[in-house]
Amino acid sequence: MADNGVINPWTVSGEIDYNKLIERFGTKPIDWKLLDRFKKYTGGLHFHLRRGVFYSHRDLDVVLDEFEKGNRFVIYTGRGPSGPVHLGHLVPWIFTRYLQQTFDAKLIFQFTDDEKLMLNPELTEEEVDHWTFENALDLMALGFEQEKVEFIVNRRHSEKVYRVALKVARRTTVSTVKAIFGFDGDTSPAFMFFPAMQAAPCFIESEREGRPVPCLIPAGIDQDPFWRMTRDTATKLGYPKPAQIHCRLLPGLSEGGKMSSSVPGLAIYTTDGPDIVEEKINKVNTQGRGPETCSLYQYYYFLFEESDEALTRIAEGCGARACALCKAQLIERVNNVLENHRVRREGKRSTVTDLLNL
Ligand code: TYM
């Protein structure tokens, strides 16, 4: 990681050197051997894999070995529901849907409403309930099959996770939690237990089935500290170690860090109307930047241009092509995608009500 970069589940800022993160977190790059294995299942490769948006992993090879032996894996990912969904959140979820379709896998999706309440004493229970529902609409709008999705909302469905979380927490210590997450004296005591709540869904299918069920977690690399702790306890508890596949983080509208709700002006939300999107994108200072440093190019790269040839043309035109043109094209694409997304989202109200057991 570059010296000025910070990355953990709650703060991501500055320039992030993603290759150095692989060393620091002890993960592995997704190499050509693994990509070739993926090709076998899908014919082509998802553009997130081709471009290294998903670029790092732990035990992805092990999970594929098991799959080939007929031992299907469960996919696990989640969301901390304290505000609206932005474009960055869509990156791992779009890929998760691809994984679900490719491997016909069940998805366990956790809403860490408890985490958000522990982190922010000002947030109300009504607010996290509201955002859980709203965020679930965004997720389901991406086309997941309802029959293969299970929601775990920690406060609502605690009976599903608490018992396993307790097993995890009994096998970890305050020192481990502190070393990984860096809590201090101002942290809520509840937070010492929370990492065990995020770990628990990795193991609940194994518990339910009474045999080792592999688990694959697609998520941003900012969530990785949780999995380091979880993998240590898996061994102690006799569960399979959960595997991860990590994505880079979509930057905010100005350079560096990630798109984050803590700076709303620098994030594009799925609920932002056409005028807001236009205003936000037009405000970005792109002058003198190239594809390496222009955040708008990253939006094409992560989400809004799936054709590699077209993407290369955008990169080559950068500088020569007026930024105003590039912005106008991006505004149109983002608005098209979001308009369709909002229609699909509205159609998911009864699905989400069912999945949340409301
Ligand atoms: P949360 O709500 O912070 O983030 C949800 C997911 O979005 C990813 N993410 C991003 N990906 C790309 N670019 C960005 N700018 C960006 N910002 C966020 C995160 O990495 C995450 O995958 N505690 C978790 C919720 C959770 C969870 C999980 C996440 C519970 N269980 C299992 C992943 C896997 C949270 O607050 O995520």
Tens-digit pLDDT profile for residues 106-144 = 999 999 999 999 999 999 999 999 999 999 999 999 999
Per-residue confidence (pLDDT) for residue 319, from 0 to 100? 76
The pLDDT confidence band at residue 165, using thresholds 50, 70 and 90, is very high
Per-residue confidence (pLDDT) for residue 138, from 0 to 100? 98
Long-range pairs, 185-193, Cβ under 8 A, ≥24:
188/118, 188/119, 188/121, 190/114, 190/118, 191/118, 191/119, 193/165, 193/169
Which residues neighbour 238 within 8 Å (Cβ) at sequence distance 6 or greater?
A: none
Is the minimum distance from the CB of 219 to ligand 1 under 6 angstroms? yes
**263 has pLDDT over 80:** no
In the CATH scheme, what architecture does the domain 6-251 have? 3-Layer(aba) Sandwich (3.40)
Per-residue confidence (pLDDT) for residue 1, from 0 to 100? 38
**260 has pLDDT over 90:** no
Q: How many residues does the chain have?
A: 358
Per-residue confidence (pLDDT) for residue 229, from 0 to 100? 93
**Residue of 222, 301, 266, 284 whose CA lies nearest to 12:** 222
Q: How many angstroms separate the alpha carbon of residue 80 from the centre of ligand 1?
A: 7
Is the minimum distance from the CB of 83 to ligand 1 under 6 angstroms? no
**Closest residue to atom 32 of ligand 1, CA basis:** 77
Domains 6-251 and 264-345 share a fold: no
pTM above 0.75, yes or no: yes
The pLDDT confidence band at residue 4, using thresholds 50, 70 and 90, is low
Domain ranges in the chain are 6-251, 264-345
* Span 197-248, pLDDT tens digits: 999 999 999 999 999 999 999 999 999 999 999 999 999 999 999 999 999 9
**Closest residue to atom 16 of ligand 1, CA basis:** 88
Taking the C-alpha atoms of residue 295 and residue 186, their distance in angstroms, rounded to an integer, is 35
> Under CATH, domain 264-345 is a member of which superfamily?
Tyrosyl-Transfer RNA Synthetase (1.10.240.10)
